Structure 1
Amino acid sequence: MGKRSQRKNAAMFDSDDDTSSISSNSTIRSDRMSVSGMDEVQVHKDALLDQALDALYEKRSSTREQALASIVDGFNSDLQHEFVEKKFATLLHQCLNCIKKGSSRETFLATRVIGLLALTVGLGDQAHEILEESVTPLSQALKSGRDSLKISSILECLAVITFVGGTTPEETERSMQIIWKMIHPKLGSNVVATKPSPAVVTAVVSSWAFLLTTVDQWTLSPKLWQEIVSYLSSLLDKDDRTVRIAAGEALALIFELGNLEKFSAEAKRSNGSAQEGNVSQEALMHMHGLKAKVTNKVRDLSSEAGGKGSAKKDLNNQRNLFKDLLEFLEDGYSPETSTKIGGESLQTTTWYQMIQLNFLKHFLGGGFIKHMQDNEFLHDVFGFTPKKKFTGGEPRMSQGEKRMFKSPNSALNKARTQFLNKQRMLAESKNAGHYAATGGDYYA
């Protein structure tokens, strides 16, 4: 499309028209609306997204920001399968360009679009392509500034696209390492450590823990687990409440993984060698000591009195979280939650499920309910089946969806089967506390 056409489309985003209201004016007023009428509505929505995509080529940052905001709204309000089928690669690379050259606000919006794009395409080659095409530009963007909004949005985007598109443990560990290094960089002779803001620390810990929920085998040694637990426990003493909550959830997940049982098994296996046995027994004792320290701190935070300027909602969230964590550490009971989605209840019974739910709810924002109702990838993640709404006609599928679903041997069906098998294995492993600890220098 030529520059003149791009400018014309971009001008639409600089006008006083509220593009978000256009789709609302296209509300279907009758269950008997004709198929041709529904097609017209879809064409109209696609045209708006096409115009927004064209506007991403414009030089004016404010124009690109408005276009990105329109795309975010479009992806939050509906599952844009047909648009993605046609414009997947163009949208991804234009968003990556926005991250390279844009403001913090533009980066925030572009990373949201990339994450929504991954959640929309679900499992398969496209999600993996998003991860592989994005990981280097995102890593470079993390080094290019210190703005908390920019860094936090990049970290959360990296976590989401890895959650959907990561196909091997190595890919997940690569992203977790990139995330963790934002608070624990490898320091060289010419590198000066900068203290991350509370917002960045919260984003690092929550994004890292979100990806830890997907790991079914782990290669960290007991010593490195100790270092991670020690660092997270130190965050419970920080002034910022969101940091304390993120650290508490991450610690709950780590203890749910069964580390103490793992260290006990390691110590028993090492008894044949006095030196190794001493190291493992020392690691086990140290971990028990850390758990006792964490438990005492959690007990204090579960009944903390409100301080000056303390928001009541945040204080209640902290108290509730740490009451649940205290019960888990002392009695082994994980919290159970229930979220209403269109008349059905989405249940969680483990820390890892609750962490996944909270992270995706935060990332999707206003689009959470719509995606939980219509997004099959999220249905698989949470084992959730929504109530089906009657729309007055047979459900229609795009040509791309028909291709994906027509064969039980299709790439999507194979990926979905592998994902569901992995989810079952994860649930069984977490309940039994079976995690490998075979050494490694992941965070060295």
Structure 2
Amino acid sequence: MGKSSKKNKGSRAGDQLDSSDTESMSSSSTVMSDVAPVYATEQVTSNDFVLDKLIDDLYEKRGSTRENALVGLVDAFESFVLLPFIENKCTTLSHLFINSIKKGSAKEAILASRAIALLTLTVGAGANSHEIMKEALPELCRILSGSDQSKMSAVLDCLALVTFVGANDLDETEVALKAMWEVIHPKSGSNVGTVKKYRPPVVAAAITAWSFLLTTISNWRRNPENWKEHISHLSTLLESDDRAVRMAAGEAIALFFELKLLDVQLAEDSPVEKDPKYQLFIYMQGMKAKVTAQIDALSSEAGGKGADKKNLNDQRELFQKIWDYVKDNWNPEETVKVSSKLGMLRVSSWTELVQLNFLRRFLGRGFLKHAQGNSLLHEIFNFGVDKTEGLSNIAKKIYRSEEEKERALRLNKDRKMAQERKQSILNEQV
């Protein structure tokens, strides 16, 4: 696991399957109804045979049998932190899941990719997750370099998670980053004569996965010279016709500012014109100005005819947060109520927010369960006391009312600033 950034710190498989897959998945959804009582107290009991039977089914030749087994196992991994159950099964499960990626249908490969990622999240950082990463990495990268885009989003999520948890050093992390970047920017790929065109959902998934891994880089990899191509292309993606791509690129650029990947230090003991970094400095200053203007425009983009209002509002809110950080160094803040015992999960940086957004999207309904019982998430995030715990109902209402007032004031300020910027743009065009 990339330890340098962790402490400074969803979509589901079914979302990536077409409607023809729904029936076979739902037919096995009752499997886990037998498992739920078993793990209600997260104790390993004699009823482990239910999960063992699902594992046995992964050896079957019939693809539909393996698919249904994967549905049940994914459901179990999402719903419960199965660390006791997998203690002596990690290698076996990893081999079976990777075999399903290699030999199964697109649906089976999607489910198996998700299962490997969930297995890695459950086992946590250490020798087991490192072995999972080493075994899975070649096959995942092979799929990303291929032409079948139907399973790429799931593979990108899987590659991000197994590397995030399992990588021992940045050299291993950079293998995954490079594979993802070749999806984001195909011209940078090894096949010079063939430039692939990926669908917007795949590009958005690649940027999101890439950004998630980017949060783990350490100081010695922050040479601005290495990031010229990346910031230039991300700036281009801010002008994409697809809103999800624009938003994913925006989060990546926010990370660039926070990690200071655009900052160039000029030598103080030599004339500027003789400093070899001077041209890089000028280039990065220009890119900062360009992306800042783009962020400004996207934070107050007009709806237009037929615009998706919800997603448009999400875009405005995201780019307003980025604008606040870039212009005023105002860190993004978010809290998630986990439980009365653990209190609140709090993030207050772009690194943490990118990690939270990725894991929350990936785990979906299972996020709270893992936030409560998965030690890996406790290593990544800070958990604070719920300040309303122990207060009377009236006191809780008063406290939350004050919080809502503060939030409303901030939102009103954001809206006013966005309106002022939009009006300024209109005045300049007159």
TM-score range, shorter chain: 0.7 to 0.9
Q: Give the whole-Å Cα distance in 1 for the aligned partners of 2:272 and 2:301.
A: 46
The 3-state SS of whatever aligns with 1:339 is strand
The residue type equivalent to 1:174 in the other structure is: V
Work out whether residues 38 and 45 of structure 2, in 8 Å CA contact, stay in contact via their aligned partners in 1. no
The 3-state SS of whatever aligns with 2:337 is strand
The residue type equivalent to 1:54 in the other structure is: D
- 1:256-279 CA distance string (max 9 Å, x none): 11234x40x2x226837955x1x4
1:50 aligns with: 52
1:383 aligns with: 382
Q: How does 1:303-342 map to 2 (within 5 A)?
A: 303-342=300-339
1:418 aligns with: none
The residue type equivalent to 1:341 in the other structure is: V
Q: Give the whole-Å Cα distance in 1 for the aligned partners of 2:368 and 2:200.
A: 28
Cα 1:269–1:97 change in 2 (3 A) is: farther
1:417 aligns with: none
Cα 1:105–1:385 change in 2 (3 A) is: farther
1:234 aligns with: 236
1:184 aligns with: 185
1:139 to 138, 141, 144: 141
1:64 to 63, 66, 76: 66
- 1:359-401 CA distance string (max 9 Å, x none): 11111112111000000111010022689xxxxxxxxxxxxxx
Cα 1:386–1:162 change in 2 (3 A) is: farther
1:293 aligns with: 290
- Structure 2 unpaired stretches of 5+: 1-24, 387-430
Q: Give the whole-Å Cα distance in 2 for the aligned partners of 1:152 and 1:103.
A: 15
Residue 241 of structure 1 and its aligned partner are, at CA, apart by 0.8
2:32 aligns with: 20
Work out whether residues 157 and 205 of structure 2, in 8 Å CA contact, stay in contact via their aligned partners in 1. yes
The 3-state SS of whatever aligns with 2:221 is coil
The residue type equivalent to 1:357 in the other structure is: L
The residue type equivalent to 2:122 in the other structure is: T
- 1:157-209 CA distance string (max 9 Å, x none): 11101111111111111211111122334556774111111111111111111
Q: How does 1:15-414 map to 2 (within 5 A)?
A: 18-24=30-36, 42-44=45-47, 46-147=48-149, 149-185=150-186, 186=188, 191-219=193-221, 221-260=223-262, 262-263=263-264, 265=265, 267-268=266-267, 271=270, 275=274, 277=275, 279-343=276-340, 344-384=343-383
**Identical-residue share of aligned pairs (%):** 43
- 1:383-424 CA distance string (max 9 Å, x none): 22689xxxxxxxxxxxxxxxxxxxxxxxxxxxxxxxxxxxxx
Q: Give the whole-Å Cα distance in 2 for the aligned partners of 1:232 and 1:54.
A: 45
Q: Give the whole-Å Cα distance in 1 for the aligned partners of 2:269 and 2:93.
A: 53
Q: Give the whole-Å Cα distance in 2 for the aligned partners of 1:95 and 1:328.
A: 41
Work out whether residues 247 and 318 of structure 2, in 8 Å CA contact, stay in contact via their aligned partners in 1. yes
Greater shift after overlay, 190-199 or 359-368?
Answer: 190-199
- Structure 1 unpaired stretches of 5+: 1-12, 32-37, 388-444
Work out whether residues 223 and 261 of structure 2, in 8 Å CA contact, stay in contact via their aligned partners in 1. no
CA RMSD of aligned residues (A): 2.6
Work out whether residues 272 and 278 of structure 2, in 8 Å CA contact, stay in contact via their aligned partners in 1. no
The 3-state SS of whatever aligns with 1:131 is helix
Work out whether residues 162 and 172 of structure 1, in 8 Å CA contact, stay in contact via their aligned partners in 2. yes
Residue 96 of structure 1 and its aligned partner are, at CA, apart by 0.3
The 3-state SS of whatever aligns with 1:238 is coil
Q: Give the whole-Å Cα distance in 2 for the aligned partners of 1:315 and 1:274.
A: 45
The 3-state SS of whatever aligns with 1:161 is helix
Q: Give the whole-Å Cα distance in 2 for the aligned partners of 1:77 and 1:271.
A: 61
Residue 142 of structure 1 and its aligned partner are, at CA, apart by 2.1
Work out whether residues 337 and 345 of structure 2, in 8 Å CA contact, stay in contact via their aligned partners in 1. yes
Q: Give the whole-Å Cα distance in 1 for the aligned partners of 2:269 and 2:179.
A: 32
The 3-state SS of whatever aligns with 1:271 is coil
Work out whether residues 100 and 141 of structure 1, in 8 Å CA contact, stay in contact via their aligned partners in 2. no
The residue type equivalent to 1:169 in the other structure is: L
Residue 15 of structure 1 and its aligned partner are, at CA, apart by 7.2
Cα 1:84–1:286 change in 2 (3 A) is: same
Work out whether residues 342 and 386 of structure 1, in 8 Å CA contact, stay in contact via their aligned partners in 2. no
The residue type equivalent to 1:171 in the other structure is: E
The residue type equivalent to 2:70 in the other structure is: L
The 3-state SS of whatever aligns with 2:327 is helix
Cα 1:62–1:312 change in 2 (3 A) is: farther
The 3-state SS of whatever aligns with 1:345 is strand
Cα 1:157–1:27 change in 2 (3 A) is: closer
1:414 aligns with: none
- 1:95-152 CA distance string (max 9 Å, x none): 00110112222111111111111111112100111111111111122234322x4111
Cα 1:43–1:316 change in 2 (3 A) is: farther
Q: Give the whole-Å Cα distance in 1 for the aligned partners of 2:98 and 2:28.
A: 28
Cα 1:255–1:48 change in 2 (3 A) is: same
